[in-house]
Amino acid sequence: MVKRQVPKPSELFELMHFKAPELNGRKRRLDAALTIEDLRKIAKRRTPAAAFDYTDGAAEGEFSLGRARQAFEDVEFHPGILRDVSNVDTSTTIFGGPSAYPFGIAPTGFTRLMQTEGEVAGASAAGAAGIPFTLSTLGTTSIEDVKAANPNGRNWFQLYVMRQREISYGLVERAAAAGFDTLMFTVDTPVAGARLRDKRNGFSIPPQLTLGTVIDAIPRPWWWWDFLTTPTLEFASLSSTGGTVGELLDSAMDPSISFDDLDVIRSMWPGKLVVKGVQTVADARKLTDLGVDGIILSNHGGRQLDRAPIPFHLLPEVVREVGNDTEIAIDTGIMNGADIVASIALGAKFTLVGRAYLYGLMAGGRDGVDRAIQILTDQIVRTMKLLEVAHVAELEPRHVTQLQRLEPRPRP
């Protein structure tokens, strides 16, 4: 028989501590978000459907994006034992400079339409965290304003080579003058992918107002207040705007882009030149032989060619082929710090996150971006400690197994 007694009030108070209520609604929401998926749910509640779907969606059936995320879920880790991981070092070097963590913020277009603080929030948060920030050609904050928001951090510029080459050349010159240290020459957008959510939503700059748009905005007055009371939304690095996403890309991009364009841009750019959108081992080899400073395995977040290769699955083979000769980064599908750890273990030098950052931005502006970065960095540190790895340089293929779902059939 268990002896029972009436609890003493003093003992109860020792066991129970009431948490003081958080009166700041934004802080309360963000503190409750423990994962990037939590931030995504907040973002969906707070952002009109057209803007949210632009971030959340991908091309056609969205198979590429779904497969990329599944690939990271299909990972088995192999931890060591009895190693001192009281302190772990997450720092690395990439493209000639430092980063406090093995990830940076990927280039994203239309960013101020997601939330009015846009690239300024992303760049300043990246600078505070000690990681690189990448500005898109289709960004909604100018090159110079991004530099002002992140004056002492690393800023990178993602370049589309347009039909009017002079526009692209001018952007290269401005990025160099502003002190951006790395240029991402993007090769996977000869034309726009079929982003069906955007077509159905009439997504454009400026937004196309319909009855459905207005109805969708009614429960989100804060978004429209921010949108209407802040500077006019435009592609800050370009001289002309307007039209749907696909129309803009089709007019700005050029299907005739070639290796000759790579040579021209390379001759103009004083910093590190990396090629983004590599999706085959053969192209990785060719670019490496041409002497580029790095390659980024990417299928554009599943937003261009649907059913494209999964970068994370492609990674080990590319590392075997060119990993000793050039630096390899990877993006697409990263939603957890463990995804980043797995990528580094399989040979990537660095990773880039796009949607994860934008979910934070939509959930809470600069504070939301800080929260997204904190979630990812906490997950990186915890995963490394549980693997019993004290430095990112110690991560190796032996720490990871890629579990296989999709097996290619023999070719005829």
In the beta sheet, which residues pair with residue 77? 400
* Predicted pLDDT at 208: 63
Band the pLDDT of 149: cuts 50, 70, 90.
very high
Q: Of the residues 17, 78, 300, 391, which is catalytic?
A: 300
| pLDDT given for residue 245 in this prediction | 55
Which amino acid belongs to residue 234?
A: E
- Residue 120, C-beta contacts closer than 8 angstroms, at least 6 positions apart: 141, 145, 146, 149, 366
**Is residue 242 pLDDT above 70, yes or no?**
no
CB atoms within 10 A of CB 41: 13
For the ranges 21-25, 313-317, 386-390, the lowest mean pLDDT is seen at 21-25
pTM: 0.90
Given this model, what pLDDT does residue 241 score? 45
- Look at residue 246 and tell me whether its pLDDT is greater than 60: no
Average pLDDT of the segment spanning 112-131? 95
Is the pLDDT assigned to residue 214 strictly greater than 80?
no
Active site residue 300: yes
pLDDT given at position 190? 84
Q: What is the DSSP letter of 394?
A: G
Domains in the chain, ordered, with CATH? 25-402 (3.20.20.70)
End-to-end distance of the chain based on CA atoms, in angstroms? 75
Spatial CB neighbours of 31, under 8 Å, sequence gap ≥ 6: 22
Read out DSSP for 249-309?
HHHHB-TT--HHHHHHHHHH--SEEEEEEE-SHHHHHHHHHHT-SEEEE--GGGTSSTT--
Cβ of 306: how many Cβ atoms within 10 Å?
A: 21
Specify whether the CB–CB gap between 231 and 140 falls below 8 A: no
Of all residues in the chain, the percent with pLDDT exceeding 70 is 90
- The sign of the dihedral angle between the CA atoms of 267, 268, 269, 273 is negative
Q: What is the pLDDT of residue 250?
A: 64
| pLDDT class of 226 with cuts at 50, 70, 90 | confident
